[in-house]
Structure 1
Amino acid sequence: MCHSVDGRPPASPVVTGEVVEHGHLEITADDGNRLNAYRATPTVPNGRNVVILPDVRGLHPFYEALAHRFAEAGFHTMVIDFYGRSAGTLPRDDSFDPMTHMALLEAPHVDADVAAAVVRLREEHPGPVFTVGFCLGGGHSWRQAATELDLAGAIGFYGPPRFFGDATTTLSAPLLMLLAGDDVATPQAEFQALAAGFDEAGKEYEMHVYDGAPHSFFDVAFRDWERECADAWQRILSFTSRNGGEAA
């Protein structure tokens, strides 16, 4: 798993307000899939929207808490679940085995579900949309910048390049890559090869490697990496501000 059972996301170093509304909802993708989602609404919006793509666990309390952290920083935020097609939308307990369902997950499934979340956010809160993903969701988040969603940018933490696939040539939005220097899940050579492809294709991206940081360091449970977590937040805020257009 990407985070411990008691793991929770660090707060943004810039907090503009509180969360005025939050809760679960069900949305429907164009292919008919019904999926669970969770949204958090800021009291002081910054004009930008975020769709969070979680790790292998899908819609987990860690990411519901992260939606609050983004809303506190001003973002209208929605987290999606990956497993509506195979696990349905009923509540899950500790017996849920995400690895079984991840084996059934395909890139077009993720694309359709992200698109449903983006459409819902834009209908309710017009403005630039960014994706932010972690591990499994990190690779898929970067790949969303190669879809037809017209994203303002795509952010990913330690996302295995295999989930990005061969989407380099169709990238149309900038990427932010936040990587763990001591990532046991993905060799650094794979990230370097991915970045080399971006360079060759002339694509816009930022890649920052936190030397020595473990996979899933973006967690208050990793107390030795508080400075890196704060830096990652600052990079997210800067990236979304620069690429958020007039709404920033």
Structure 2
Amino acid sequence: MCHDVDSRPPAAPVTTGGVAAHGPLEITAGDGNRFPAYRALPTHPNGRSVLLLPDLRGAHPFYLLLAQRFAEAGFRTLVMDYYGRSAGTAPRGESFDGAAHMASLKPEHVETDAAAAVAALREEDEGPVLSVGFCLGGGYSWRLAAAGLGLAGAVGFYGPPRFFEDRAEEVSAPLLMLLAGEDVATTPEQFDALAGRLERAGKAYERHVYAGAPHSFFDDSFARWADACADSWHRLLGFVERHSPVAAA
């Protein structure tokens, strides 16, 4: 089921360059938790929505800008924060210490909040929803493919398998793994073991490793890895095209 793809994927959707609206909002989860989120709406929707799961910093300004980039490519996009239970709903600025709150974060918290975020996306459009996550969010993005949310696909950038491996055999959507060759947080052997579990369970996934790239290479502060960032963006869009067909937008 695995495709270790070495070539650029099929032609990606053309960026439309328009953001119709964007801004913060609060969402209430099924257990009553209120958490901050950020929504970016495209001028020309492509019929798909993205739930964006950030790294341990939560709804950091970097991810708010990234949500706008997804909107420019036609996606209704919602960034969810993880720390409503411990940090309230105040904006997560540059100085917010997500690491101080991560110890109290549990998988069921992420799944409960993600269910509410996905529901919010579907209130506006019933088209396919995909999760896209980075680091902590990468692992949880893959996990959400086993959370009964009806996702069309789950994309993770250098996500630690420990947030996901106990659910690997339960995924019900294809996965895309975009990995850093010099990741200090997760070894290649850990990803090989995860891939083996997916293979044995007959789960569909794609994996690409960026040789020499560090953990968190997809970040605006890593200009040295611009080629890897651009390639991973095109791979992501190609994955979306293959796994979430929609009627002509």
Give TM-score, length-normalised by structure 1.
0.92
CA contact (8 A) 1:128 1:247 kept: no
**Structure 1: which 5+ residue stretches go unaligned?**
1-11
How far apart, CA to CA, are the structure 2 residues paired with 1:183 and 1:54?
17
Alignment of 1:1-248 (within 5 A): 14-92=14-92, 96-247=96-247
- Mean CA deviation greater in 161-170 or 174-183: 161-170
**Alignment deviations for residues 111-161 of structure 1 (CA, whole Å, 9 cap, x no partner):** 011111100101111100000000000000001001110100000000000
TM-aligned CA deviation for residue 245 of structure 1: 2.4
* CA pair 224-137 structure 1, distance change in 2 beyond 3 A: same
TM-aligned CA deviation for residue 223 of structure 1: 2.1
Aligned residues: 237
CA contact (8 A) 1:30 1:116 kept: yes
How far apart, CA to CA, are the structure 2 residues paired with 1:224 and 1:13?
25
In structure 2, what is the equivalent of residue 3 of structure 1?
A: none
* CA pair 61-96 structure 1, distance change in 2 beyond 3 A: closer
How far apart, CA to CA, are the structure 1 residues paired with 2:162 and 2:100?
18
Give 2:206's aligned amino acid.
Answer: E
* CA pair 154-94 structure 1, distance change in 2 beyond 3 A: closer
Give 1:214's aligned amino acid.
Answer: P
TM-aligned CA deviation for residue 186 of structure 1: 1.1
TM-aligned CA deviation for residue 92 of structure 1: 4.7
Give 2:114's aligned amino acid.
Answer: V
- Mean CA deviation greater in 82-91 or 152-161: 82-91
**Alignment deviations for residues 37-58 of structure 1 (CA, whole Å, 9 cap, x no partner):** 0010000111000000000000
Q: Taking every aligned residue pair, what percent have the same amino acid on both sides?
A: 64
How far apart, CA to CA, are the structure 1 residues paired with 2:134 and 2:237?
17
In structure 1, what is the equivalent of residue 8 of structure 2?
A: none
The two structures, once aligned, show a CA RMSD in angstroms of 1.5
* CA pair 226-91 structure 1, distance change in 2 beyond 3 A: closer
CA contact (8 A) 2:57 2:98 kept: yes
TM-aligned CA deviation for residue 15 of structure 1: 1.5
In structure 2, what is the equivalent of residue 7 of structure 1?
A: none
CA contact (8 A) 1:13 1:233 kept: no
Give 2:23's aligned amino acid.
Answer: G
Secondary structure of the 1:52 match is: strand
How far apart, CA to CA, are the structure 2 residues paired with 1:85 and 1:196?
35
CA contact (8 A) 1:24 1:37 kept: yes
TM-aligned CA deviation for residue 95 of structure 1: 5.1
**Alignment deviations for residues 194-224 of structure 1 (CA, whole Å, 9 cap, x no partner):** 0111111110000000000011111232222
Secondary structure of the 1:167 match is: helix
CA contact (8 A) 1:30 1:112 kept: yes
Give 1:160's aligned amino acid.
Answer: P
